[in-house]
Structure formats: C-alpha cells, structure tokens
C-alpha cells in the first residue's frame, strides 16, 4: 500500500523497512521480488524506535525522510494526509500528523485519549512547542533536520516522537501539523498496566528533556 501511495506522488524513492525486535524476512523477501526499491534492516534484539530509526536513516541518504507506523493507524487517503506529508516538505522541516487539531478524526479508547490529550497539553506548556500532538507516528523530515537529530537525538524509546518535535521547535526548524484520520489498532480497551508503563516512560523522558532544554546542551544551542 505504501509503495503504490508513494509512487503516485513521487517516483524517485526508496521504501525503508526497519524491523525492530522481530523477523519478517520471508515476507520482505517476497516484496523485494515485486519492488526493487525496498531496503530492509532487521534486528532480533529490540533497539527502540529512536535508535532503530537513527540507524536506518544513516544507511539511506535522501532529500527527505518519511516515517509511518507499520500498523497504518493513519488513513493515508483522508485529508490527502500522505500527499501532504510529502509535498509540504518543500516548505517545512518537520511535517507531523495530528489527531487533535481541527479537521482530524480520532478513534481510540476514552481513557487513552484523555491521557494523551493531557500529556500533550503538558508538553506544549513546558516547552512552548505550539504543537498539539507530540506522539503521532506519521511524520516527514528534511535532510537538514535528520542530520541534526542524528547528533541531538537521545531517546531510544517511544518518547522519541516527543523529543524530535521539541528539538525541532526549540532549535528554530519549521514545523507543520496536518489533520489526519487515525484509528487505534491495539484494540478498544487499554490495559492499565500498559497505560502506567507508558506514563512512566514518557514521564522520565520529560524530566530528561526538561534538563537538556533549560540547563543542558539544547539550552546552549539557544544562547
């Protein structure tokens, strides 16, 4: 689906599959017979989203980098979301899907939605990012921003999404949120254990990022 969707917008591209902590080699090998532009990076040991992406992007050089969660929770066709993700890159360094701006539609468990909205309001307040959704796995990056994140990015976990947006906004990169249609793919009930684990992960990530922004390396870049 991504191959056809991208080909309708841009002909010169590579489809990079970065598999983290699992092995779908057989399926990918079949796809390679059909599509010659697939690049596959696979790790049996889980690296985490941030580390896996930094490594993958160091392998493939491009003018822009598009990142989409493999579960395709974002409907690529609604609001021309995927087309905007690519075509707006000429105007912005980071284009990111948002489930919480006007025009977006989001289907997810109520408890998880409340927790997410609260978290995003807190991040926007702490870092003055101006962004409404810091967690969505639907983004495109300029080559210039990817080079910066290769140096400044530290998070290896799901907190990576928040970190890259905060770094981009604090360091003066051009950021654009676009509306999307998004549907939860993990089921309509959220186990409390998973919710508390995510709260701990993002809470500790925020503490580290707060120190970096107001006292550490990111503060020095602003002075």
Q: Which residues are part of the catalytic machinery?
A: 161
The answer to whether residues 165 and 94 touch, using CB atoms and an 8 Å cutoff, is yes
Does residue 161 contact residue 204 with C-beta atoms inside 8 Å? no
Q: How many other C-beta atoms can be found within 10 angstroms of the C-beta atom of residue 81?
A: 21
- Percent composition of the chain: helix, strand, coil (DSSP 3-state, to 5): 50, 15, 35
Would you call 146 exposed, middle or buried from its count of C-beta atoms within 10 A (0-12, 13-18, 19+)? Answer: buried
**3-state SS, residue 122:** helix
Compute CA distances 142 → 87, 125, 133, 188, whole Å: 12, 26, 19, 35
The tally of CA atoms less than 13 A away on the side-chain side of residue 37 is 11
Residue 116 CA to residue 121 CA, distance in Å, equals: 9
Bridge partners, 12 (sequence order): none
């Amino acid at each position: 689906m991504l191959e056809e969707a991208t080909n309708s917008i841009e002909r010169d591209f590579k489809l990079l599959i970065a598999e983290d902590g699992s092995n779908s080699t057989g399926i990918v090998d079949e796809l390679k017979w059909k599509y010659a532009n697939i690049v596959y990076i696979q790790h049996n040991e889980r690296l985490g989203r941030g580390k896996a992406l930094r490594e993958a992007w160091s392998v493939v050089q491009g003018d822009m980098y598009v990142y989409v969660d493999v579960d395709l929770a974002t409907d690529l066709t609604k609001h021309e979301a995927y087309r905007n993700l690519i075509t707006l890159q000429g105007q912005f360094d980071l284009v990111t899907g948002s489930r919480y701006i006007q025009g977006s539609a989001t289907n997810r468990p109520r408890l998880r939605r409340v927790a997410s909205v609260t978290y995003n309001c807190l991040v926007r307040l702490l870092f003055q990012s101006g962004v409404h959704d810091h967690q969505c796995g639907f983004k495109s990056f300029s080559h210039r921003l990817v080079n910066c994140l290769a140096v400044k990015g530290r998070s290896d976990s799901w907190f990576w999404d928040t970190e890259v947006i905060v770094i981009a906004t604090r360091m003066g990169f051009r950021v654009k949120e676009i509306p999307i249609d998004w549907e939860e793919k993990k089921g309509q009930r959220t186990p409390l254990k998973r919710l508390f684990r995510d709260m701990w992960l993002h809470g500790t990530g925020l503490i580290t990022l707060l120190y970096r922004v107001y006292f550490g390396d990111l503060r020095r870049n602003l002075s």
